[in-house]
Amino acid sequence: MVTFSETPGRYGPGVLAGEHTDAICAELWYSAEAIAELRECGVLWSETPAG
């Protein structure tokens, strides 16, 4: 645990592996169809939330 004197702490769950993959691919001009195809081929993968 780290304590900063000037910046308030923020506690909570971390991000899941691959959670932002679709958003990053979209920023790189991949279409939704291309992203879906990459997922289907196993090139892209994201963790699913527990629950």
pLDDT in tens, 30-46: 999 999 999 999 999 88
Instruction: Indicate if the pLDDT at residue 8 is higher than 90.
Output: no
**Chain centroid, CA 31 distance in Å:** 17
Greatest alpha-carbon span in the chain: 47
Residue 29 to residue 1: CA distance in whole angstroms: 38
pTM over cut 0.75: no
Rounded to whole angstroms, the Cα distance separating 51 from 30 reads: 30
